[in-house]
Chains A and B, each alone.
Chain A
Amino acid sequence: MHSIFAPVSPQAIAVTHLWWWMFGVGAFIWVLVTVLALWAVRARSGAREVDALMHVAPAAHHRAERVVSGSIFVTVLILAGFLAYDFSVGRALATHPAQALTIQVTGHQWWWDAIYEDSNPSKQVETANEIHVPVGEPVQLKLVAADVIHSFWAPNLNGKRDLIPGYASTLWFRADTAGIYRGQCAEFCGLQHAKMAFYIIAEPRAKFMAWLAAASTPPAPPTDSGLMAGRRVFMSSGCALCHTIGGTDARATIGPGLTHFKSRATLAAGTLANTRANLTRWIRDPNAIKPGVHMPAIPLSDAQLNSLVSYLETLK
């Protein structure tokens, strides 16, 4: 599910073809050189007598010369072939689409923020760690780093691209098969580099549009008293200092947006399944799951934690 061997975009497919071609030629050369070396040793090692030092018959020397020059010539030809093929693939990859769905992806220590651009700012959708895209349509990612260098890499869709503070870069792909594709930060970015994954969810256009519409409407405020208590915990215990929940006063952007938190399948940047038990465990002590994570453990009573989790579970 997370591999260059199952490419689903024209970009990744081109690279995988290139890989198999290079693999075939490379494996052949590897075997050939090894066999050649072993043969060169074995060919003559039977004779144990010490023959005259330095003596090389001119004919043998000339034959060796021809073989060595020939090998070098073949090496140059193969490399030229590699080079031409690589350039042609590179050219194809470098052609950007005229129009594309544009998503700004920001790398944070240690999660991903995604903003779906829209000319109407109020219609912009912001989510985290799980990026929905329509199948068969070009998608352009604008990549920026919030703190240190990260690298965005979903191997089934395209090669990686670094997110470097002070630079903006772009990456595009077209997912031709519906599916859920895992990706992970590929540039060492500190303590939790290992647990900074994301998912790209490619779905048919109708389903995608439905998701987008749902994502741009804030969830209805709770009416149940238990859930309202949970919301109070969120607003007053420090959660709101870092997280956004649409339609409320919580608008901080230090941590992932939680407006439609429960619509996501995973927690903590692809680390845990988004279940009630995991969420409780995560809020109680984030450091036990991702040591070094910037989210603090906030001391809450069991009742407070319980109502907070109940509230978050409603953010569909």
Chain B
Amino acid sequence: MTPDRADRADGAPLPVVLTLSESELAGDAAALDAAWRDRPGLWGWLTAVDHKSIGRRYIITAFLMFLAGGIEAALMRAQLARPENTLLGPDRYNQIFTTHGTTMMFLFAVPMMTAMGLYFVPLMVGARTVAFPRLNAFGYWTYVVGVVFLYVSLFANTGPDAGWFAYVPLSGPQYSPGHRVDVWAQVVTFTEIAALCAAVNVIVTVFKMRAPGMSLNRIPLFVWAQLVVAFMIVFAMPAVATGSTLMLATDRAVNMHWFNPAEGGDALLWQHMFWFFGHPEVYIIFLPALGMITPIVETFCRRPVFGYTAIVMANITTAFFAFGLWVHHMFATPIPELGESLFTAASMVIAIPTGVQIFCWIATMWLGRARLTVPMLFVLGFIFTFVNGGITGVMLASVAFDKQAHDTFFVVAHLHYVLLGGGVMPLFGAFYFWFPKVTGRILNATLGKVHFWLFLIGVNVTFFPMHILGLEGMPRRVYTYLAPTGWGPLNLVASIGAVTIALSVLVFLINAIRSWTHGEPAGENPWDSSGLEWAVPSPPPSYNFLHSPVVRSRHPLWDTDVELPVVTGLRTDRKEVLITSTFDAMPDSRHSSPEPSIWPAYLALCMGVVFIGSIFSPYYVLGGLGLSMIGLFGWGWQSSKRIESELVAVPNGAMVERA
């Protein structure tokens, strides 16, 4: 792990570098903005394809889902605060805990992490937009359909009630009549589609649209994490899509008996299909969060991260092993014991790459001069909270111990330490770090510190007692418990912790709303950070970069010898993006980028008709697919009108303007 050559500004040969006069720049800016900006008004809002508009909406919607899931959590904690409480009956409680899990996993965590990628990846790799802007919009609208569907159902008292894992046969037609579980199965479908759209977009954007000179070994670590996770989504989502959308839905709608043992089906098969997705899901949330930590640590320690290559490898290793752990959710089922030991070993091995990353950050802090800003505090909070969750994770990998702790509050404690510590802590740090870029204003640091401490204390007060509750025999997913069990006092402590978390989030909300309008203006690069996203104004203009930047190191803004070099040659009068080669990011060709379009929103609505309608009648599926044909024609028609500028290959790296 010696400092890599890519750390220094003497790497690969440079493309043509130009320096432009001020007037040239100003003229270009006006023309570019006219070409790139979304249209005004409601129609413009519906037809938007700018990755920043979509990304911002995505982040805000996902954050609203975090609040909704949080309110559900608060209701559960209120119900469990004392034994035999009657605030929520079992029916309502089951809907709420199912909706909490479904919301947090499918409508908050995964969309939030992909949304952060969709907003920041193009800025970080120096691109004008994502590879498929309309697909991006389609993914967002599909997700919104899922959000609306779940919450309308919940308020109509048809919220899903078989758990976010929807184990058959409880979720099957016999034990869950009505439409509650159908709602779950289709909400999951919308998230799957949205996540796949985002994943494809991220993969192609990272591989083909990086700024010239940003070879693979110079890709920012947040982008690496997003790339790895995009591949994970591509492999994980089909398993749950097959399980829920195909098998569970047809079991329920037309009695396919996939999971019915009485007709030759297999109830355990569902668990395999669900967890083959469900475990990688955790890392789909966790790896991007780790990716957010690196730039924060680098910036506030003013050092390039220690062990860049090790961290990239750790990401890839984690992704690989994440697919070999799913059976540790099933240790209590009758599966062969010898097979279980493989999954024990894999579950322990995956702790190593995560350890590598944490040690690398600690080394970076030690080598640098840390400033304890709010994002840095959240990084430290992450280490404290997440390491606890990681250690209980290793404990749960042990089959013998897991058979005691499985499906108890011990696991509830573990998973919240991991997801709040490993997912939400870095995310809040990232909010403080990148809020200035998105809004142009800095979040108030004092309120930020209040937020941090309340959150750190709240998380630990809420979830630490749950370890003990679980070992004292309290199972998960119970709507109440009897007084003689003795679980009352620790449950009360946990509920008080939940109030603290709620307060901390309230402080953050107030801070975000106030700072958005009244915060201190940020300028381009308030933290003196090194990534390309800090080279553009805050908030970034519609076209992101006036000229495509040229990257000569992993820390383009820390190369002090010259101003950030650029390449020119992209048209300014219409949307054009620069395509570069996959490995070395040498300029390859120009490609047009689509205009605003209503068809993504329209097609998402059609998908809504197909999947929501499928619950009630197969004719809705036919109708919805018929309607979507119109959208597909519209989409394709726009594309064919657009591609009149042929691709221009540029063999020697210089850009050629061709009208």
| Chain A residues proximal to chain B, CB less than 8 Å | 2-5, 12, 14-15, 18-19, 22-23, 26, 29-30, 33-34, 36-41, 43-45, 47, 50-51, 53-54, 56, 60-61, 64-65, 67-69, 71-72, 75-76, 79, 82-83, 85-87, 89-90, 93-94, 109, 147-149, 151, 153, 155, 158-162, 164-169, 182, 184-195, 197, 271, 291-292
Determine whether the beta carbon of B303 is less than 8 Å from that of A56.
yes
Determine whether the beta carbon of A186 is less than 8 Å from that of B91.
no
Q: Does B441 contact A (CB under 8 A)?
A: no
Determine whether the beta carbon of B91 is less than 8 Å from that of A191.
yes
**Known pairs A54-B555, A71-B355, A149-B267; A83 contacts B348 (CB<8 A):** yes
Q: Taking each of B372, B395, B401, which has the highest tally of chain A beta carbons within 10 Å of its own beta carbon?
A: B401
Known: A34-B383, A79-B349, A193-B90. 6 other contacts (CB 8 A): A51-B302, A64-B366, A79-B352, A164-B268, A191-B91, A193-B477
CB < 8 Å: which of A22, A53, A68 contacts B363? A68
Docked pose: A30 CA to B467 CA in angstroms = 15
Docked pose: A79 CA to B362 CA in angstroms = 21
Q: Does B345 contact A (CB under 8 A)?
A: yes
**Known pairs A68-B306, A165-B261, A194-B481; A86 contacts B398 (CB<8 A):** yes
* Chain B 488-523: CB-based contact to A (< 8 A → 1; otherwise 0): 000000000000000000000000000000000000
Query: How many residue pairs between the two chains, A and B, have CB atoms under 8 Å in the bound complex?
Result: 260
Point out the residues of chain B lying under 8 angstroms from A90, CB to CB. Answer: 337, 340-341, 398-400
Determine whether the beta carbon of B360 is less than 8 Å from that of A68.
yes
Determine whether the beta carbon of A4 is less than 8 Å from that of B400.
no
Give 25 pairs: A residue, B residue, CB < 8 Å, sorted on A: A4-B404, A12-B404, A19-B401, A23-B395, A30-B387, A33-B387, A34-B383, A37-B362, A37-B384, A39-B366, A40-B370, A44-B366, A54-B555, A54-B558, A56-B303, A64-B367, A67-B359, A67-B363, A69-B1, A82-B397, A158-B403, A159-B400, A187-B167, A190-B170, A191-B90
Nearest to A70 among chain B residues (CB) is B359
B295 to A: closest C-beta gap in Å: 14
Determine whether the beta carbon of B352 is less than 8 Å from that of A72.
yes
**Known pairs A38-B380, A192-B90; A86 contacts B399 (CB<8 A):** yes
- List of 9 A-B pairs having minimum Cβ-Cβ separation, nearest first: A159-B403, A166-B261, A194-B478, A169-B334, A86-B398, A40-B366, A40-B365, A26-B391, A2-B473
**Known pairs A40-B362, A166-B267; A75 contacts B302 (CB<8 A):** no
B388 to A: closest C-beta gap in Å: 5
Nearest to A161 among chain B residues (CB) is B332
Q: Taking each of A26, A34, A41, A190, which has the highest tally of chain B beta carbons within 10 Å of its own beta carbon?
A: A41
Docked pose: A169 CA to B94 CA in angstroms = 28
Q: Does B524 contact A (CB under 8 A)?
A: no
Nearest to A42 among chain B residues (CB) is B370
Docked pose: A61 CA to B332 CA in angstroms = 47
Q: Does B57 contact A (CB under 8 A)?
A: no
CB < 8 Å: which of B355, B380, B405, B407 contacts A37? B380
**Known pairs A45-B371, A76-B352; A15 contacts B366 (CB<8 A):** no
Interface residues on B, range: 35 or more
Determine whether the beta carbon of A64 is less than 8 Å from that of B363.
yes
Determine whether the beta carbon of A54 is less than 8 Å from that of B261.
no
Q: Does B318 contact A (CB under 8 A)?
A: no
Point out the residues of chain B lying under 8 angstroms from A109, CB to CB. Answer: 175
Docked pose: A3 CA to B490 CA in angstroms = 14
Q: Does B21 contact A (CB under 8 A)?
A: no
Nearest to A293 among chain B residues (CB) is B90
Determine whether the beta carbon of B394 is less than 8 Å from that of A79.
yes
* Chain B 365-379: CB-based contact to A (< 8 A → 1; otherwise 0): 111111110001000
Point out the residues of chain B lying under 8 angstroms from A271, CB to CB. Answer: 482
Determine whether the beta carbon of A53 is less than 8 Å from that of B481.
no
Point out the residues of chain B lying under 8 angstroms from A65, CB to CB. Answer: 1
Determine whether the beta carbon of A61 is less than 8 Å from that of B3.
yes
Determine whether the beta carbon of A50 is less than 8 Å from that of B302.
yes
Point out the residues of chain A lying under 8 angstroms from B376, CB to CB. Answer: 41
Docked pose: A68 CA to B406 CA in angstroms = 33
Point out the residues of chain A lying under 8 angstroms from B558, CB to CB. Answer: 53-54
Nearest to A19 among chain B residues (CB) is B401
Docked pose: A27 CA to B649 CA in angstroms = 59
* Chain B 302-317: CB-based contact to A (< 8 A → 1; otherwise 0): 1110110000000000
Nearest to B467 among chain A residues (CB) is A23
Nearest to B307 among chain A residues (CB) is A68
CB < 8 Å: which of A37, A45, A53, A193 contacts B383? A37
Determine whether the beta carbon of B404 is less than 8 Å from that of A68.
no
* Chain B 262-285: CB-based contact to A (< 8 A → 1; otherwise 0): 100111100000000000000000
Determine whether the beta carbon of B169 is less than 8 Å from that of A148.
yes
Nearest to B348 among chain A residues (CB) is A79
Determine whether the beta carbon of A194 is less than 8 Å from that of B476.
no
Point out the residues of chain B lying under 8 angstroms from A67, CB to CB. Answer: 359, 363
B155 to A: closest C-beta gap in Å: 20
Q: Taking each of A82, A188, A197, which has the highest tally of chain B beta carbons within 10 Å of its own beta carbon?
A: A188
Q: Does B23 contact A (CB under 8 A)?
A: no
Point out the residues of chain B lying under 8 angstroms from A182, CB to CB. Answer: 473, 485
* Chain B 82-111: CB-based contact to A (< 8 A → 1; otherwise 0): 000000011100100000000000000000
Determine whether the beta carbon of A83 is less than 8 Å from that of B344.
yes
CB < 8 Å: which of A12, A162, A185 contacts B475? A185
A143 to B: closest C-beta gap in Å: 8
Q: Does B392 contact A (CB under 8 A)?
A: yes
**Known pairs A43-B366, A187-B407, A271-B482; A89 contacts B400 (CB<8 A):** yes
B277 to A: closest C-beta gap in Å: 19
Determine whether the beta carbon of A44 is less than 8 Å from that of B476.
no
Docked pose: A189 CA to B267 CA in angstroms = 14
Nearest to A271 among chain B residues (CB) is B482
Determine whether the beta carbon of B481 is less than 8 Å from that of A19.
no
Q: Does B66 contact A (CB under 8 A)?
A: no
Q: Does B7 contact A (CB under 8 A)?
A: yes
Q: Does B256 contact A (CB under 8 A)?
A: no
Point out the residues of chain B lying under 8 angstroms from A186, CB to CB. Answer: 332, 406-408, 475-476
Determine whether the beta carbon of B355 is less than 8 Å from that of A22.
no
CB < 8 Å: which of B367, B371, B392 contacts A26? B392
**Known pairs A26-B392, A75-B352, A168-B334; A184 contacts B473 (CB<8 A):** yes
Determine whether the beta carbon of B303 is less than 8 Å from that of A34.
no
**Known pairs A71-B359, A184-B473; A64 contacts B90 (CB<8 A):** no
A144 to B: closest C-beta gap in Å: 11
Q: Does B472 contact A (CB under 8 A)?
A: yes
Q: Within B343-360, which residues are at the interface with A (CB < 8 Å)? A: 344-345, 348-349, 351-352, 355-356, 358-360
Nearest to A79 among chain B residues (CB) is B348
Q: Does B560 contact A (CB under 8 A)?
A: yes
Point out the residues of chain A lying under 8 angstroms from B485, CB to CB. Answer: 2, 182
Determine whether the beta carbon of B169 is less than 8 Å from that of A149.
yes
Q: Within B1-35, which residues are at the interface with A (CB < 8 Å)? A: 1-3, 7
Determine whether the beta carbon of B91 is less than 8 Å from that of A18.
no
Docked pose: A76 CA to B354 CA in angstroms = 12
B392 to A: closest C-beta gap in Å: 7
Determine whether the beta carbon of A60 is less than 8 Å from that of B334.
no
Point out the residues of chain A lying under 8 angstroms from B472, CB to CB. Answer: 2-5
Determine whether the beta carbon of B400 is less than 8 Å from that of A93.
yes
Q: Does B479 contact A (CB under 8 A)?
A: yes
Determine whether the beta carbon of A164 is less than 8 Å from that of B403.
no
Nearest to A270 among chain B residues (CB) is B482
